Amino acid sequence: MPGVWSRRGVARVGAALPSILVGLMAAAPALAAQGAVQAVGPGAAEHAAPALSALWALPFAGVLLSIALMPLLAGHLWHHHYGKIAAGWTALFLLPYALAFGAGHAWHEFTHVLVGEYLPFITLLLALYTTGGGVLLKGNLVGTPGTNTALLAVGTAIASLMGTTGASMVLIRPLLRANAGRQRKMHSFVFFIFLVSNIGGSLTPLGDPPLYLGFLKGVSFFWPTTNLFAPFLFCTALLLALYWVIDTLAYGRERKAPIAPAAERATHADHAEAPPGEKLGIDGWVNVALIGAVVAGVLMQGVWLPGEISLLGQPIGLERVVAMALFLAITAASVWLTPARIREANGFTWGAILEVAKLFAAIFLTMAPVLAMLKAGAHGPFAGLVALTSDAAGQPLPAMYFWLTGALSSFLDNAPTYLVFFNMAGGDAATLMGQGALTLAAISCGAVFMGANSYIGNAPNFMVKAIVEEQGVRMPSFFGYCGWALVFLVPTFVLVTFLFF
């Protein structure tokens, strides 16, 4: 291939990266000087938001562009050093922040993100990843359009019960095994992310973190079930129908010989296959019980509020500390109690969760100033964006809440983005569930649905991508995946806007 896609081009990009990083480091004093315009309180980035500018979003943009471009332009460098590159971008936020506001404030911001956001996130994800990888759906599944559509439908249905992460971890490996003999299968995993990893989690607070935060703020448990069911059903039915058509066409293009039974396809897969004629069933029931314990731990945090303690100098609810300990204990129990043959049959490895842990640590930290500026509302750098949510009379515009919440949730963490717009809409759950129901529904749908627009919009997206690629199946690049979303999701969301908001 010519240009940057050739080996020579890739080598040039790799060679240029140190210079790029040096240039960005040179910008650090400018960031620090800009941030020092105004003295701030005790270190949280949101306290400094009015003094910040878009320059503080550069490290976050750097993380996103690294994830998007480096696997294409410098794949060898990225796959061996992505953790170091992510850490470098994190340093490009923390060092200027320390210069601008003091090392104590930088440490406060680091521990604030670590204790308040990252540790609860990664311990929950680790527990679901480990337990989900210990559930084996047995049976001679063959990836026909009917079977694949049924797997996606089941995953979408259970995502609101066990969370999008739990449903994704349980069903992605059966889908991989079923399609081990298929040549054209990338679209199956893309639509899996659309439906199981995102839209399926819109009916209860257990389904997706934004709705769980709403539950903690006073939104009743079954409010999403009744108020989001119509847009959920519309998106699910439309996307499943589109998927069935695409998969039927792809299946028809496969070689005319029928797909071989699973046992004959074993050489095409990196994991064990079911013997011919084996009936559908579940192995690893202990992990099903452990997933139930994870769900109980999530729910417990909304009903048991014993008070706060201090961890690394940061206040945190005791229930969250107990939940994190529970998730780690569940992870250990799953590792101890699951027979090795089940994880081998699932092709289970720790690589995907390690990749997510490293990259999302950088995402959470570099995202902090962006969210802080957004939280500043009409007094912050994004005041123009905030103004779009209301008409001239000051009345909320549900359609704008849907698209702004969704657009930001596509690239920022959808949970804090939900909270930003929840508070922007008034922040009172009783009012929002009543006369503001349409606005709250728009915020909820935007945060949950549009997390599917990019790999980083929701944690299961990136994890599914990593698991699929570990099994040797090609997935779209970052921008390639966004292209799929642009073609299939954005028109769906336009229809949702006209029909519901």
Distance CA 434, CA 267 (A): 57
Strands (E) across 11-88 are located at none
The one-digit pLDDT tens for each residue of the chain (501 residues) are 333 333 443 344 344 444 433 343 333 333 333 333 333 333 345 555 455 667 888 898 899 889 888 887 888 888 889 999 999 999 999 998 888 888 888 898 899 989 988 898 889 889 988 998 888 887 777 889 999 999 999 999 999 988 898 899 889 999 998 998 888 899 999 999 999 999 999 999 888 888 988 887 889 989 999 999 999 999 999 999 999 999 999 998 875 545 544 444 444 444 444 455 567 788 889 999 999 999 899 888 888 889 999 998 899 999 999 999 999 999 999 999 999 998 988 888 888 889 889 988 998 899 888 877 777 766 767 777 777 888 877 788 999 999 999 998 998 878 878 888 888 888 888 999 999 999 999 999 999 999 999 998 888 998 899 999 988 899 999 999 999 999 999 999 999 999 999
Q: Which residues of 234-246 are buried (b: 16+ CB within 10 A; e: fewer)?
A: ebbeebbebbbeb
Residue among 491, 493, 479, 393 at smallest CA distance from 442 = 493
CA distance 455 to 479: 9
Tell me if 263 sits within 8 A of 275, measured CB to CB. yes
Q: What number of helices (H) and strands (E) belong to the chain?
A: 23, 4
* Per-residue confidence (pLDDT) for residue 344, from 0 to 100: 87
Q: Are 232 and 199 in contact (CB under 8 A)?
A: yes
Write down the residue that tokens 């008034």 correspond to.
426
Distance of alpha carbon 387 from its chain centroid, rounded?
27
Position 19 scores a pLDDT of: 40
Q: In degrees rounded to 5, what are phi and psi of residue 255?
A: -55, 150
Contact 175, 192 (CB under 8 A): yes
Contacts 24+ apart (CB under 8 A), 470-475: 470/347, 470/349, 470/351, 470/352, 471/176, 471/269, 471/270, 471/271, 471/347, 472/270, 473/176, 473/185, 473/186, 473/189, 474/186, 475/186, 475/189, 475/190
Closest CA to 49 of 419, 374, 422: 374
Residue partners of 225: CB distance under 8 A and separation at least 6: 160, 203, 204
Give me the pLDDT at residue 13, please: 37
- Whether the Cβ atoms of residue 131 and residue 290 lie closer than 8 Å to each other: yes
The model's pTM is: 0.78
Task: Give the angle 34-37-41 at the CA atoms, nearest 5°.
Answer: 115
Contact of 401 with 442, CB cutoff 8 Å? yes
Query: Exposed (0-12), middle (13-18) or buried (19+): which is 302, by Cβ within 10 Å?
Result: middle
Tokens of 114: 């670590």
